[in-house]
Structure 1
């Protein structure tokens, strides 16, 4: 089942070439390596690192992210051998979780959404979440994220490419409680290219995102 609305890809696909070219031309493998949306929590001045699990609140001031019991994101291939890159991937995963939490809560005003996403990524995420809200939809099941690749550009910018498999996640209508369990297809696989920036207090915020549904690279 393709639980993701296609508009996210349509809104951001034009940036994928620029993101890829920037990443390839600005590789920094050392460990020393904004627009702000007007929603709750969209302050770029927030706190430092956390685990990419759905519940990620800690003493640093990061918002807690909670999922319902019938939905789960699974993140694989997150360890790169670099502490900096691992922190980038962890916050990238939390940005993903923040978008899904907004879907579950039926609100684009959640604190985590604007905490881990900013700029184009935030505005596109708001549009994306709003599609679920307008249709009274949510999702259930499990989505897998894998094959993370990180490129650092200096000490405050990074590019992350990764894949997702939505074969086991399904759209659920909140009003009718009906779950669309259509079988997965090649379109259940999505390739993402994202840009992140480290803010003043150490959070790697996703600033731009491009996605390609049906990516053959993610099906290997």
Structure 2
């Protein structure tokens, strides 16, 4: 059993994915639909961590609040190059936004569409809907490392990174029970290539994601 399903490159454009997209809301936060799922415990009380520090680049960004028992660790955020650091920061915010949509019960998740577009947005919606179908969420810490930025052309960049989910555990949304018995396996590691494009607001939106299955072993360290 996997701790977390793999975020694959090609999203299946199903009705469920479309509904999930609609429920996640847009960058203007005007959607009134709701994504089921939660960081709630058995009593229905929500557990959220403080919102992340505000951006200092002048961009009006949506808040992202993860539950206290969900954490993402991003290694290599500071490369010494301001442009690369900005790309890595928006890559991290996108991953936080996806996890927020999976683990937090809210009417809208505007950060999802703020940091994703096109194929990557459909992929994220399908991924989130997969948790909903199974009645699952997760807790724990996910590590992202070996994060590398390559600029392809003006306004377009690629980010490759590894994901380590060995410290995350599936949670049953109905009972609130967390399964910590799952042994570590190769399925807990992933290697991704993503393509980002800088939009008119100055945000590096992820527009495509490729999961490189044959390269997973390079991330097992």
TM-score when normalising by structure 1: 0.77
Q: Deviations over 1:56-76 (max 9, x none)?
A: 545632000001111100110
Q: Do the aligned residues in 2 keep the contact of 1:116 with 1:203 (CA within 8 Å)? A: yes
Structure 1 unpaired stretches of 5+: 13-36, 44-52
1:186: Cα distance to partner?
Answer: 1.7
Which is further off, 118-127 or 206-215?
206-215
Any idea what the Cα deviations from partners look like across 1:76-101, whole Å, max 9, x if unmatched? 01222211011000000000000000
Counterparts of 1:156 and 1:167 in 2: how far apart (Å)? 34
1:92 maps to 91
Contact conserved, 1:121 with 1:206, CA < 8 A, in 2?
yes
Deviation at 1:41, TM superposition (A): 2.0
The alpha-carbon deviation at position 135 of structure 1 amounts to 2.0
The match for 1:55 is 52
Distance in 2, Cα, partners of 1:206 & 1:10: 12
Q: Give the C-alpha shift of residue 11 in structure 1.
A: 2.8
Shift of 1:106: 4.5
Matched residue of 2:174: which SS?
Answer: coil
Contact 2:73–2:143 (CA under 8 A) maintained in structure 1: yes
Aligned in 2, Cα 1:60/1:112: closer, same or farther, shift over 3 Å? same
Give the aligned partner of residue 206 of structure 2.
Answer: 206
Residue segments in structure 2 that go unaligned for 5+ positions in a row: 12-20, 29-49
- Give yes or no for contact 1:165–1:190 (8 Å, CA) kept in 2: yes
List 4+ stretches of structure 1 deviating above 4 A. 56-59, 106-109
CA RMSD of aligned residues (A): 2.3
SS at match of 1:179: coil
TM-score, normalised to structure 2's length?
0.76
Aligned to 1:9: 8
Q: Which residue of 2 aligns with 1:187?
A: 187
Paired residues for 1:97-108 under 5 Å:
97-106=96-105
